[in-house]
Amino acid sequence: MARKKEYKVVVTGAAPFKEYERNPTQDVKDMLPTRIERNHRIPITIIKFPKDFRNVITDMDIIPKMWNGQKRVYDEDCEEGDKIYIDAMLHLGMNFDEYWQIERVARRDGYDWVGDDGVPLPKHNGGKGGRWEGLPEVLKPMFDIEHIDVPFKSSTDAGLLYCEFIFYTSLAALYTRDEDSRVTFLHHAGKKIEPKDIKVGAQVAEAVICSLIDQIEKNSTCQLRSLA
Parts of the chain with a pLDDT under 70: 1-3, 221-228
The whole-number pLDDT of residue 221 equals 56
Residues of the domain holding 143: 7-227
**DSSP helix/strand/coil, 45:** strand
Strand 138-139 with 153-155, pairing: unpaired
Q: pLDDT per residue over 108-123, tens digit each?
A: 999 989 998 999 999 9
The CATH code of the domain that includes 150 is 3.40.630.20
Please indicate, yes or no, if residue 200 is contained in any of the structural domains.
Answer: yes
Please indicate, yes or no, if residue 83 is contained in any of the structural domains.
Answer: yes
Please indicate, yes or no, if residue 159 is contained in any of the structural domains.
Answer: yes
CA distance 115 to 212: 31
**pLDDT more than 90, % of the chain:** 78
The whole-number pLDDT of residue 225 equals 39
Residues ≥6 apart with Cβ < 8 Å to 126: 108, 109, 132, 133, 134, 135, 137
The whole-number pLDDT of residue 152 equals 87
Is-contact 209 38, C-beta < 8 A?
no
The neighbour count for residue 36, using CB atoms within 10 Å, is 18
Please indicate, yes or no, if residue 1 is contained in any of the structural domains.
Answer: no
CA distance 47 to 217: 19
The whole-number pLDDT of residue 21 equals 77
Count of domains forming the chain = 1
Please indicate, yes or no, if residue 181 is contained in any of the structural domains.
Answer: yes
CA nearest neighbour of 85 among 171, 4, 13: 4
The neighbour count for residue 28, using CB atoms within 10 Å, is 26
Q: Which residues pair with 64 in a beta bridge?
A: none
Please indicate, yes or no, if residue 192 is contained in any of the structural domains.
Answer: yes
pTM passes above 0.85: yes
